């Protein structure tokens, strides 16, 4: 009888690239899973690693270069306020200086690489540009309200522009949660509510697709231990073998023993700014199953911290 670990290992595709500008051959099996969507969300278990950021950048490249996506929503700040939307459109300004004024999630070499690639794409394709989305600012006083506001903003932008949209953010928002529970600290009670991904799937059906970016261990500037054995991440890690990362289509038919694992309620790690490795198993998302939350998963075994913004002018793409 095939175990879930064996099934994942047999049905997943190894990802080998380590840099955002490497060829996209290893990622192309993802394209048929999402090409018909109007919004594709990339949800990272942690926003603090180079490897997950490079993976997200490469998926953005795949969807823009080969699948006709033309807007990117970057969760965490306002590209209009910072001038980044104008930089991507026109080349005006210094993106490193703009990002230096952003919230912490954006003050990284990896976000800088993405916006410079977007500008470079537009220089090569002036009649078919990609843009940084500027949805209406979310007005919310509580997390549950913020989730609805994020969904409203992404859906409004897609309807307003007609663009196919890539949304890059945190897994707590992008997973399909109807509802889902997040635990971000041992000292704070878990919160349960419908999230952005849940609202978008409810409204758009399979016009919204969710891709989870999971992680096993490494460093985010502090040690990130192997996941708790009860977390689904532990199963994903066991299936990696000697591969550094892999892609798994969660819509594939699964035998009953595998369904009992992947379709069962579980927990997956969720690493935010208040992460404490001494209480690693207190930082998680729960409520439903891996196959409910995501249409596909990209699992990465070992991660390292994001890089700092470059110093000095970076005007050219």
Between CA 314 and CA 317 the distance in angstroms is 8
Residue 109's pLDDT is: 98
Look at residues 174, 216, 224, 166 and name the one whose alpha carbon lies nearest to residue 199: 174
Residue 317's pLDDT is: 45
pLDDT (average), residues 175-185: 95
At 49-94, the pLDDT tens digits run 999 999 999 999 999 999 999 999 999 999 999 999 999 999 999 9
At 191-235, the pLDDT tens digits run 999 999 999 999 999 999 999 999 999 999 999 999 999 999 999
Question: 6: burial class by Cβ within 10 Å (0-12, 13-18, 19+)?
Answer: middle
pLDDT band at residue 142 under the 50/70/90 scheme: confident
Q: Domain boundaries in the chain? A: 4-15+24-49+144-303
62 upstream amide cis, omega within 30 of 0? no
DSSP string, 244-259: SEEEEETTS---HHHH
- 111 — phi, psi (to 5°)? -70, -40
Residue 312's pLDDT is: 65
At 244-302, the pLDDT tens digits run 999 999 999 999 999 999 999 999 999 998 999 999 999 999 999 999 999 999 999 99
Superfamily of domain 4-15+24-49+144-303: EreA-like (biosynthetic domain) (3.40.1660.10)
pLDDT (average), residues 35-42: 98
Is pTM beyond 0.85 here? yes
pLDDT band at residue 123 under the 50/70/90 scheme: very high
Residue 313's pLDDT is: 64
Residue 141 has pLDDT above 80, yes or no: no
- Range scoring the smallest mean pLDDT among 54-58, 105-109, 186-190, 228-232: 186-190
Per DSSP bridges, beta strands 208-219 and 296-303 are parallel
Between CA 100 and CA 118 the distance in angstroms is 18
Residue 52's pLDDT is: 98
DSSP string, 121-163: HHHH-TTS--EE--PPPP--SSHHHHHHHHHHHHHHHHHHH--
Residue 316's pLDDT is: 44
């Amino acid at each position: 009888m095939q175990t879930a670990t064996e099934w994942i290992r047999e049905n997943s595709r190894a990802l080998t690239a380590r840099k955002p500008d490497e060829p996209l051959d290893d990622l192309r099996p993802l394209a048929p899973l999402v090409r018909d969507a109007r919004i594709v969300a990339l949800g990272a278990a942690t926003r603090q690693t180079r490897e997950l950021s490079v993976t997200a950048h490469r998926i953005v490249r795949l969807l823009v270069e080969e699948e006709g996506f033309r807007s990117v929503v970057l969760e965490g700040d306002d590209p209009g306020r910072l001038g980044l939307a104008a930089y991507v459109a026109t080349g005006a300004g210094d993106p490193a200086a703009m990002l230096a004024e952003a919230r912490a999630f954006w003050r990284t070499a990896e976000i800088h690489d993405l916006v410079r690639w977007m500008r470079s794409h537009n220089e090569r394709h002036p009649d078919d540009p990609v843009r940084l989305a500027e949805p209406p600012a979310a007005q919310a006083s509580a997390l549950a309200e913020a989730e609805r506001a994020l969904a409203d903003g992404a859906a409004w932008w897609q309807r307003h522009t007609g663009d196919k949209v890539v949304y890059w953010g945190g897994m707590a928002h992008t997973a399909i949660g109807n509802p889902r529970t997040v635990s971000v600290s041992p000292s704070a009670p878990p919160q349960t509510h419908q999230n952005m991904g849940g609202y978008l799937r409810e409204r758009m059906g399979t016009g919204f697709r969710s891709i989870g970016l999971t992680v096993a261990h490494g460093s985010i500037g502090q040690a990130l231990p192997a996941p708790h054995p009860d977390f689904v991440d532990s199963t994903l890690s066991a299936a990696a073998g000697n591969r550094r990362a892999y892609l798994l289509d969660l819509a594939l038919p699964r035998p009953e023993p595998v369904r009992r694992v992947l379709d069962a309620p579980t927990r997956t790690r969720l690493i935010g700014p208040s992460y404490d490795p001494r209480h690693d198993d207190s930082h998680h998302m729960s409520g439903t199953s891996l196959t409910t939350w995501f249409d596909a998963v990209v699992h990465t075994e070992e991660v390292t911290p994001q890089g700092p913004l470059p110093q000095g002018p970076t005007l050219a793409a």
